[in-house]
Amino acid sequence: MLFRKTAYSTTRKRKQQDETKPYPIVVSLNKDKIRVFDDCDSRKNRLEWKCCGLWQTLSQRSGAIMTQHKKTYKIIQQPNRLYQNDAFEVLPYFDSDSIDLIICDGPYGVTDNDWDKVGSIQEFNLNLIKLFSQKLKTGGSLYLFGKPDCIDFIDYRPFLKLQSKIVWYQPSRLAQGRRNYTNNYDIICYFTKGYKPKTYNLDDIRVSQLVELEHRLRCERVPSVMNGQYGKTKFNGQGKNPGDVWGDIKQLTYKSKELVNRQALNTIQKPEKLMVRLIKASSNEGDLILDPFCGVGTVPVVCKRLGRDFIGIEQNAEFVDIAQRRIDAAKNENDTLLKYGT
């Protein structure tokens, strides 16, 4: 990532001379540290790293360079880009009120994988919700994946409005409980920033009617229905609202053609069909979609196919490589130049 450096000294002349000099800087953010590569860290005067927009100060976290000087950094938010970093380190630098839709399939807090180990999944998700509320546009949407208790006993109401809890039903899961009922579903928490969403494209996500047309029309002609709250609801030949229980989209298996890595099965990679429904419902062409835990890149791939802009964040270098190859192979009339954020 390239930055422009401005050095400030005690004299105005030195300041004016240095401000005209650009220096290439590479900043690599990791979960536990920030590494800064600098070609002139020996100056004793106060150094600041300047970019357009927001300024964010990071205190001594990168060893020699950071302990010598107090510096200011800015990570540039760019669409159609993958950032190989930790989401909590990158997101604070993104512009406020700039994201139309966030699809967050992060840790569940139920497995022994390193990436899934969190102290409290509820507090973890609350911190995410606080951060997302700053980045979403008014009326923007958030889909947060998790287990049934993923947002229990936390107060998210000051930040986002919970519109629905979608049940993604999976009756064919291999795991079968011996002392309790088997968990056969995941939760997709649907939030909006504000009372109602700015985008909800129902016609793009309709599903087949499960009742015969004659029976539906007969029900519509019942006086209590015609004169009641839903009297204006009519049969739609294109299909119906998918509701909040989704059993028509199956999870991936080892035989799934779109599975790109067995390590990602069930815990990381979600079906493209599921992401298509979420993206079509809550965004339009040209909207900016954020996936803070993008794994092997399913959301960016679907975004490219549907003509949406995206930002993907992922720590695992292997998954970033897989995601980039999938994005490059995805077909779209408006091909976008993609680069890693490092």
Q: Is 138 exposed, middle or buried (0-12, 13-18, 19+ CB in 10 A)?
A: exposed
Q: What is the pTM of this model?
A: 0.73
* pLDDT given for residue 341 in this prediction: 39
* pLDDT given for residue 275 in this prediction: 96
In which residue ranges of the chain is pLDDT below 70?
1-74, 173-175, 211-217, 219-220, 224-225, 230-235, 266-267, 332-342
DSSP 200: -
Query: Residues for the chain: how many in total?
Result: 342
Class of domain 81-165+188-202+255-341: alpha beta
User: How far does CA 32 lie from the centroid of its chain?
Assistant: 21
Question: Would you say 274 and 239 are in contact if contact means Cβ atoms under 8 Å apart?
Answer: no
Task: List the domain boundaries for the chain.
Answer: 4-73, 81-165+188-202+255-341, 207-240
DSSP 92: G
* pLDDT given for residue 176 in this prediction: 74
* pLDDT given for residue 334 in this prediction: 46
Cβ-based neighbours of 44, under 8 Å, separated by 6 or more: none
Alpha-carbon torsion 206, 211, 212, 214, what sign?
Answer: negative
* pLDDT given for residue 197 in this prediction: 96
Query: For the segment 284-342, what is each residue's pLDDT rounded down to a tens digit?
Result: 999 999 999 999 999 999 999 999 999 999 999 999 999 999 999 987 544 443 333 33
